[in-house]
Chains A and B, each alone.
Chain A
C-alpha cells in the first residue's frame, strides 16, 4: 500500500466516523441520576424506546456535579452529536450560552427555558393541569377534609405542581385545608427521605389523609411514611402506584420519555421553539393500574375525566404558577 492510498483510506475512515457521529443523538441526565425511578429514568426509557424502534445508537452522560453541565454539553456539541437532549430546568442558563456557539447543532431541553435561540427546542409540561386532576381525586378521597402537599426544592416549577394541586382540591371542596410544605432550598432537598417522612408525619398529625409529593428521592420517604401511617400518598413523574400497592392513590405522570423520543426521532431536523406536552396529547396524565383500582371509585374517575375534557377544551382554566410567580388560592 503506497502513501497516497493510505491517506485516502484514512480520510475515508475519518469522514465515515464523522458522519456516524453526526447522526448520533445525545442525552444528558440531571443530577438526580439516571435510575431515579422518576424523571431521569423516564428520559432514559424514552431514549431506549427510540433505540429499539430505529436501531440507532445514542450517547449519554450522567452528571455528578453542577460544574459538569457546560463541559458535557460542549463535548457532545464538539463531537458532532445532533440533537442533544437535556433533562432538567437547570440546563437553561448554560444552554443559553452554549447554543450560540453551535448554531448548526439542535438542542432540546426538558423543563428548560431558553427562548431566544432558534436551535433550541424548549419542551414544557403542563404539570399544573395534571396536579389539578390528582388534587381533585385527593379531595374526593379525603375523609378529614385535610390533604397535604410536599415539594422538593423550593423552585418555581415545583410551586406549579403545588398550585395546580391546591386548585384541584378547592374545586371539589372549597373548605378543604391543604398543608403545604417544601423540603428545602438546596439540591439535597431531592434526596432526603428522612425529612420527607418527618414532614409527612407532621402533616398526618395535623389531620392530612392524602399527601401528594413532587420531591424526587425525598418522595420515597413521603410514600413510605404515608403507607406506614395508613393514609394515602400520590406519586409523581413516573407511575409510582406499585411502590406501595393499596397506599398510593394515583400518580401524576409526566411523559418525559415522549419528549426525548420525539426529539431523537426528529433528528437533525428538530425545530426550535416551544413544545408543550399536555393532557391533550397525553404528555400529562394520572395513573390507573391494578395497584390503585380498588382505591378509585367510578364517580371519582368520571369527575376527573370531565374536568380533563374541560381543561382540554379550554372551558376550565387552571392557573399556572410560572405565568406570574403567584398562586390565587392558598
Chain B
C-alpha cells in the first residue's frame, strides 16, 4: 500500500472514530455507575437532529451544539427517571428511547421544515469548519512526518480534537478524582456507597447527565461536522457499534480510544477498498462491516481475556 493511501485511510478512520469515541465514553460513565444504556443510538439521533435544526434556523453551529447537547441530556434524564427514580428495567427504557428518538426526529422535522424529516443543508457558519494546525502547510513537503502532520493530524473539526482530549479527561475523572472513585463504586456496590453517607441516586443522575452531554457531542459532530444537515435515521447503528466498542474495551477509557480507532479503521478500509485480497483469498467488504460485531462476540465469549461488566450494572438501587 502506498504511503499516501495509508495516510488517507487513517485520516478517514480518525473522522469515523470520533462519534464512536464520544458515544463510547458516554456509555462508560453511565455503565460504570451501574446504568446500562442501550439508548446511546437514540441520543445521538435526537442530538444530531436538534443540532442540525437549530444550526440551520440560527445560522450558528454553536447554537446547534448547545441545543443538540440539551436534547440529548433531556433524553438522558428521561432514562434516569425511568431507571433510577422509578427503578424500571434499564434495557427496556433504553430501547424506548431509541424508538422515541427515531419517531420524534422525523415528526418534528416534518412539521418544522416540511422536508420529510430532513433539515435544510447547512453551509458557512452553520457547520463546523476544519481547523488547520499551525505550520501544517509549511511542513507538508517534509517526507513522512510532513504528510502525517498536515494530512492526518491537521484539518479536522474542533469536536474531533475535543474527542481525543476527552479520553485523558475521562480517565482522570474516573480514576484520579474522589467523584470518579464514588462513581465507579456506585456501579460495583451501591450499598457500600450509601453506607458511607453518599447519595447513590445523585451520583447515578450525574453519570447519566454526563452520558447525555457526550452523546450530544457525538450527534452534533455527525450532523454539523461530518455531514451538513440531518437525514432520518442518520446515526445508522453507530450507537450500537459504540456499545460494542465499550465492551470490547472492557469499560476502560484508553482501551476505548484504541477500540474505536480500530472500528473506525475497519470502516475506512471497507469504504476505500471494496474487496481486499490477502494471500490469494478475497475478503468481501461485508466482512469488514461485520467485524466490529464479530470481535465483540469473541471478546464476550471470553476467548481474549474476560470482559466483566460493573457488578451492579442494570440493577436499580433500593435503599434498605
**Contact surface of A with B, Cβ cutoff 8 Å:** 33-37, 41, 180-182, 184-185, 188, 191-195, 197-199, 201-202, 205-206, 217, 220-221, 224, 228, 243-244
Q: Known contacts A195-B271, A206-B272; can you find 14 more A-B pairs with CB under 8 A?
A: A35-B115, A181-B271, A182-B274, A188-B233, A191-B236, A193-B231, A198-B16, A198-B271, A201-B12, A202-B268, A217-B232, A217-B234, A220-B231, A243-B121
In whole Å, how far is A239's beta carbon from the nearest beta carbon of chain B?
A: 16
Contact of B236 among A36, A41, A195, A206 (CB under 8 A): A195
Question: Are A180 and B274 in touch, CB under 8 angstroms?
Answer: yes
Chain A CB within 8 A of B157 CB: no
Given A180-B274, A191-B233, A193-B227, A220 and B118 touching (CB < 8 A)? yes
25 A-B pairs within 8 Å (CB atoms) are namely A33-B116, A33-B232, A35-B114, A35-B117, A37-B115, A180-B274, A182-B285, A185-B286, A185-B289, A188-B237, A191-B233, A193-B227, A193-B234, A194-B227, A195-B236, A195-B271, A197-B227, A202-B271, A217-B118, A217-B234, A220-B227, A220-B231, A221-B231, A224-B121, A224-B229
Question: Are B271 and A199 in touch, CB under 8 angstroms?
Answer: yes
Q: B222 — nearest CB in chain A belongs to which residue?
A: A194
Most chain-B Cβ atoms within 10 A of its Cβ — which of A34, A37, A217?
A217
Chain A CB within 8 A of B170 CB: no
A221–B236 alpha-carbon span in the complex (Å): 13
Chain A CB within 8 A of B43 CB: no
Question: Are A192 and B236 in touch, CB under 8 angstroms?
Answer: yes
Question: Are A202 and B236 in touch, CB under 8 angstroms?
Answer: no
Question: Are A34 and B236 in touch, CB under 8 angstroms?
Answer: no
Residues of B within 8 A of A35 (CB): 110, 114-118
Residues of A within 8 A of B285 (CB): 182
A202–B121 alpha-carbon span in the complex (Å): 22
Residues of A within 8 A of B16 (CB): 194, 198
Chain A CB within 8 A of B228 CB: yes
Question: Are B117 and A202 in touch, CB under 8 angstroms?
Answer: no
Contact of A220 among B110, B117, B121, B271 (CB under 8 A): B121
A5–B272 alpha-carbon span in the complex (Å): 76
In whole Å, how far is B122's beta carbon from the nearest beta carbon of chain A?
A: 9
Q: A201 — nearest CB in chain B belongs to which residue?
A: B12
